[in-house]
Amino acid sequence: GEQVEQLPSILRVQEGSSASINCSYEDSASNYFPWYKQEPGENPKLIIDIRSNMERKQIQELIVLLDKKAKRFSLHITDTQPGDSAMYFCAASVNNNNAPRFGAGTKLSVKP
Amino acid sequence: GPKVLQIPSHQIIDMGQMVTLNCDPVSNHLYFYWYKQILGQQMEFLVNFYNGKVMEKSKLFKDQFSVERPDGSYFTLKIQPTALEDSAVYFCASSFLGGGEQYFGPGTRLTVL
C-alpha cells in the first residue's frame, strides 16, 4: 500500500500566525488526499481534501496544495486560533482501489 | 451528517480471550475499514472490506484477526486469541467509494490485560 510521510510531528505557533504541515507520498497513482483533525479522545474528522485534478483548494482558513510532480501535499492554516490545537493527519489513496494510508500525524499547539 | 457507530466504546478483556468489535457504517456506504491507533499516535490501516470480501490488509492484520458483515448487519472485527499488543483504539470507517471520503466512528478502546 501507499506510504505517507508527515512533518513536523510537533508544531507550536502563536495565535494569529499561520501553520504549515507537509506530507509526501510514494505511489504516483494516488489521487485523493484528505486531511483529518483529531481532538483528544475523539475520532478523526475530515476537514478538507483535494483530488489530483486540482493543485490548490481553500475552505475558509484552510488551504491545501498538491504538487503531483514532487508527490507532495501540504495543509496551511492561516490566522490560527487556540481551537485549532489538535492532531492533524494527512492521508493518500487511490480511488476505487486502496484504503487511504495516514501520515504519522502532527500535534499542533496554538498559544493564545 | 452521516454517522458511523461503534459498539462497545470500551472493552477490557484478559489476554487469550476472544473479542468482537462492532461497527454500524453509514447506511449507503459500500466500503468498510478498520484502523488501529495506539495512544493518539498514527492511524494504522488494518483491513479494507467490500462486497463481502477482504480487499486488502496490512501486516498488522494478523491471522488472529477476521472481519465480516453478515447480511448487512454490523461490520465486525474479531480477534481470537487476543494479545497484549492488541491494546489500542480501533476505529471503523466507511466510504461510498473505495479509497474515497471516509467517515470514522468514535472508536472502541480495547484493553488486553
Cell numbers representing residue B38 in the block: 495506539
Q: How many residues does chain A have?
A: 112
Question: Chain B contact for A48, CB < 8 A?
Answer: no
User: B71 in helix, strand or coil?
Assistant: helix
Contacts of residue A42 in chain B, CB cutoff 8 Å? 106
pLDDT of residue A95: 67
Contacts of residue A36 in chain B, CB cutoff 8 Å? 43, 104
CB-CB contact of A22 with A72 (8 Å): yes
Inter-chain CB proximity B102 and A104 less than 8 Å:
no
Confidence of residue B97 (pLDDT cuts 50, 70, 90): confident
Contacts of residue A104 in chain B, CB cutoff 8 Å? 41-42
A–B: how many Cβ contacts below 8 A? 71
pLDDT in tens, A43-74: 999 999 999 999 999 999 999 999 999 999 99
Distance CA B26, CA B34 (A): 14
Minimal CA separation from A32 to chain B, in Å = 7
Inter-chain CB proximity B40 and A44 less than 8 Å:
no
Computed over every residue of chain A, the mean pLDDT equals 94
Inter-chain CB proximity B48 and A98 less than 8 Å:
yes
pLDDT in tens, B30-39: 999 999 999 8
Contacts of residue B58 in chain A, CB cutoff 8 Å? 1
Q: Does residue B29 surpass a pLDDT of 90?
A: yes
Minimal CA separation from B17 to chain A, in Å = 26
pLDDT of residue B98: 81
pLDDT of residue B69: 94
In chain A, at which residue ranges do the beta strands (DSSP E only) sit?
4-7, 10-14, 19-25, 32-38, 45-51, 56-59, 62-67, 72-77, 86-92, 101-102, 106-111
Place of cell 501540504: A74
Distance of CA B30 to the CA centre of its chain: 15
pLDDT of residue A2: 82
Residue of B4, B102, B108 best to disrupt the A interface, most CBs of A under 10 A: B102
Percent of chain B scoring above 90 in pLDDT: 85
CA torsion through residues A19, A25, A28, A33, sign: negative
pLDDT in tens, A87-104: 999 999 986 668 999 999
For A60, residues 6+ apart whose C-beta sits below 8 A from its C-beta are none
Distance CA B56, CA B52 (A): 12
